[in-house]
């Protein structure tokens, strides 16, 4: 395994007027290369940055919409150092449950632990055209869980999205592991993106100079919650299979589906496919335990192939051997079958295995967290801490 002192591979990204000299104190404070252009990163323009405008928020957020009395005529034109200082101050004012510990960007060809430098170019086609794919991996006790499985999936997604790789698989793998190592994060998550890259604001990426790789290490202070939840049937149209099977950044339907659930005092919405069968949640798979004690899950041909869901199917074989489950089935699931099941659960890298106790107005089973759901959660938690090397990659 290469140490952190090993230089990371550099993409062949070139762009006219891409260089700008930063003050020495910025180079001393964070990992920002001397040829970094904040104009290229979309941080400054002739119109300046950070005018006196309140941020418009969703209806469930506390902050009000833009104040009509706000004066915006005196928008400042900032130097590079002034823009950077405002970025730092803006980050300092953002307090949340998630901490961003390290970021890699192939644009500046390195890792930074300064959150104010964790930015991407505005002309990146992932930003303004949604031409990008992403994936994630949990960090548990200094190990990346199902890292290679997730890495294979993002490479498949990139191929389907016609995104050329900036590096080969092994170099991408090495960069991601080094980013986690630099973060010193023992428990959290790694999220990473492959993008068509920056270049212009056209629709086609033909003038993009180089595909881009970004990664960030997130430490979340939220405790894991295994309490039973309510779900509702989504009225937001499901993505067609061609797009649903790709883990792209086009998550507007997913976000609207999640917001619809929250508006109905539920945790998530459940999508149905075009034939009316149960499909998936906005960021997780769905599974059921039938009255015959079969673990039943919809097929992955029209939805995203969940890495955690497939691992749960493997671990569930142990429950079959113990006699707690009769069998495991991958098949179409009607809404009636789902609502009459003894147990229902959501499965994903974020929720792990979360029991569902109510779907719309229908109580699932006896309305309590089911024994099979609890057993599968225990199995996945144990697998994350002491599973085989195939699913646990150590971070040096």
DSSP H helices in 324-394: 335-339, 371-386
Question: What are the DSSP calls for 278-316, one per residue?
Answer: B---SSSEEEEE-TT-EEEE--SSSS---HHHHHHHHHH
What values do phi and psi take at 53, rounded to 5? -125, 130
Query: Of 151, 142, 135, whose CA–CA distance to 393 is shortest?
Result: 142
Measured CA to CA, the distance from residue 162 to residue 335 in angstroms comes to 35
Measured in whole angstroms, the distance separating CA 372 from the mean position of its chain's CA atoms is 27
From 230, 239, 247, 258, active-site residue:
247
How far CA 239 is from CA of 35, 245, 271, 302, in Å, comes to 41, 9, 9, 9
Is position 88 annotated as part of the catalytic site? Answer: no
Residues 6+ apart with CB under 8 A from 334: 276, 277, 278
- Helix then strand then coil, in percent of the chain rounded to 5, is 30, 20, 50
Indicate which residues carry an active-site annotation. 247
């Amino acid at each position: 395994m290469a140490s952190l002192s090993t230089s990371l591979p550099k993409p062949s990204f070139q762009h006219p007027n891409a260089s700008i000299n930063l003050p020495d104190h910025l180079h001393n404070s964070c990992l920002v290369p001397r040829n970094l252009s904040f104009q290229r990163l979309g941080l400054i323009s002739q119109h300046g940055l950070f005018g006196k405008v309140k941020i418009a928020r969703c209806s469930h957020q506390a902050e009000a919409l833009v104040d009509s009395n706000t004066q915006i005529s005196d928008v400042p034109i900032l130097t590079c150092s002034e823009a950077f200082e405002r970025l730092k101050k803006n980050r300092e004012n953002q307090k949340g449950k998630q901490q961003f510990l390290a970021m890699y960007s192939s644009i500046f060809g390195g890792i930074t632990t300064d959150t104010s430098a964790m930015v991407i170019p505005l002309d990146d086609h992932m930003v303004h055209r949604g031409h990008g794919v992403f994936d994630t991996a949990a960090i548990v006790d200094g190990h990346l869980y199902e890292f290679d499985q997730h890495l294979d999936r993002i490479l498949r997604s990139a191929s389907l999205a016609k995104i050329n790789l900036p590096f080969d698989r092994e170099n991408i793998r090495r960069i991601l592991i080094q980013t986690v190592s630099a973060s010193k994060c023992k428990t959290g998550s790694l999220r990473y993106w492959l993008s068509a890259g920056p270049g212009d604001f056209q629709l086609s990426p033909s003038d993009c100079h180089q595909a881009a790789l970004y990664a960030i290490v997130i430490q979340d202070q939220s405790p894991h919650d295994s309490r039973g939840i309510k779900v509702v049937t989504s009225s937001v149209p499901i993505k067609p299979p061609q797009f649903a099977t790709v883990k792209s950044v086009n998550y507007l339907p997913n976000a609207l589906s999640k917001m619809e659930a929250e508006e109905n005092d539920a945790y998530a919405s459940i999508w149905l496919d075009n034939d009316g069968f149960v499909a998936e949640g906005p960021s997780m798979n769905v599974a059921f335990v039938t009255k015959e004690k079969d673990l039943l899950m919809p097929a992955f041909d029209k939805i995203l192939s969940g890495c955690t869901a497939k691992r749960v199917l493997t671990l569930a074989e142990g429950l079959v051997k113990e006699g707690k489950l009769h069998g495991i089935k991958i098949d179409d699931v009607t809404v009636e079958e789902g609502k009459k099941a003894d147990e229902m659960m959501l499965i994903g890298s974020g929720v792990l295995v979360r029991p569902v106790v109510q779907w719309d107005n229908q109580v699932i089973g006896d309305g309590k967290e089911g024994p099979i759901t609890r057993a599968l959660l225990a199995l996945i938690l144990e697998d994350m801490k002491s599973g085989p090397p195939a699913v646990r990659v150590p971070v040096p």
